[in-house]
Amino acid sequence: MPKLSDVIAVLEEIYPPQWAESWDAVGLVCGDPDAETAKVLFAVDPVQSVVDEAVAWGADLLVTHHPLYLRGTTSVAATGFKGRVVHTLIRNGVALHVAHTNADHAHPGVSDALAEAVGLRVTGPIIPDPTDPTGRRGSGRIGLLEPPITLASFAAKVADGLPATATGVRVSGDPDRLISRVAVAGGSGDSFFAEVRAAGVDAYVTADLRHHPASEATEAAPVALVDAAHWATEWPWLNLADRALTEVATERGWQLETRVSTLVTDPWTAHAPMPYTPPKPHSSTPHSPTPFDPTPAAP
């Protein structure tokens, strides 16, 4: 049976820590390098419900995409929810390992899994990693939709391809526009707008877009936006990571049992719709907003 340090060494070969951003906090968060490791659980978020699942299943190692501590802490006391996670993990002998922006930048990585889930054929990264001579590693991915379909159909395809969350998918743009070339970025994608525009895509699939970046992007260029739950855009990568680890474990003859958590850790648990009338499709300027009927706003 492998030791934790053996399994971590394989994970760090697949997702080398030096590929992470300088501000990121990846690698082993807790656990004893000498512990025997037989069961590995993959999840997006190191939250209490996931940790409880790991303990209940008897996991030795939990691999998450999101860091528990992105900024340094001087206390892991169980007076806060992160400290409770640490105490639960250590008391139950479960290690925690994080593969975050190193998994984003890897090939195949988080955005490759997202692209596959929404039906794209990847042609390369949005921002190539300058240290990668193959040009395949980097931030986000550009992909092709073959054959092209309308934005309305593509949004439905995204909603269908990703794990379901309460609030569905948000869309910006002319629903009849044909979408052929698409940029995708798992997780928060508002820092890549300039490169997405420069890439000449028809649509951009990402998450966590706020009003000002989305509004400015829409004013600046007619790129359609498709925004799903942050969790949902990163979940597909878990299977990818699971397969990659399992492949090496099999080669080495390790008895390693793995599992991908299906707990929905998107914080949104319900959606209340509104009676919105979309802009008319024959509108001359596709981005011109629709006036709304302000009567109901009067108290």
Question: Can residue 76 be called a binding residue for a second copy (CB under 8 A)?
Answer: yes
CA-wise closest residue to 223 among 233, 243, 241, 209: 209
Site string for a second copy, 157-186 (x = CB under 8 A): -xxxxxxxxxxxxxxxx-x-----------
CA-wise closest residue to 86 among 114, 67, 105: 67
Size of the site for a second copy (CB under 8 A): 113
Which residues inside 209-228 make contact with a second copy, applying CB under 8 A? 209-212, 214-220, 225, 227
Contact stretch for a second copy (CB under 8 A) within 28-36, 123-131, 139-147, 244-252: 28-36
- Indicate which single residue of 1, 13, 36, 70 sits in contact with a second copy (rule: CB under 8 A): 70
For residues 25 and 184, give the distance between their C-alpha atoms in angstroms, rounded to a whole number.
23
Question: Can residue 147 be called a binding residue for a second copy (CB under 8 A)?
Answer: no
Give the DSSP letter of residue 191: G
For residues 82 and 1, give the distance between their C-alpha atoms in angstroms, rounded to a whole number.
30
CA-wise closest residue to 262 among 12, 21, 43, 35: 43
Contact stretch for a second copy (CB under 8 A) within 13-21, 45-53, 132-140, 241-249: 45-53
Angle, CA of 134, 247 and 56, to the nearest 5°: 125
139 with 105: CB under 8 angstroms?
A: yes
218 with 193: CB under 8 angstroms?
A: no
- Indicate which single residue of 22, 71, 147, 251 sits in contact with a second copy (rule: CB under 8 A): 71
- Indicate which single residue of 7, 20, 29, 199 sits in contact with a second copy (rule: CB under 8 A): 29
Question: Between residues 219 and 251, which has the closer beta carbon with respect to a second copy?
Answer: 219
Question: Can residue 273 be called a binding residue for a second copy (CB under 8 A)?
Answer: yes
Question: Between residues 132 and 213, which has the closer beta carbon with respect to a second copy?
Answer: 213
Which residues inside 111-130 make contact with a second copy, applying CB under 8 A? 116-117, 119
Q: At what angle do helices 110-117 and 236-251 cross, to 10 degrees?
A: 120
Q: Shortest approach of a second copy to residue 39 CB, angstroms?
A: 18
Q: Shortest approach of a second copy to residue 136 CB, angstroms?
A: 20
Question: Between residues 34 and 251, which has the closer beta carbon with respect to a second copy?
Answer: 34
Question: Between residues 87 and 132, which has the closer beta carbon with respect to a second copy?
Answer: 87
Beta 138-139 vs 127-128: how paired, if at all? Answer: antiparallel
Both tokens of residue 136? Answer: 């395949």
Question: Can residue 56 be called a binding residue for a second copy (CB under 8 A)?
Answer: no
41 with 60: CB under 8 angstroms?
A: no
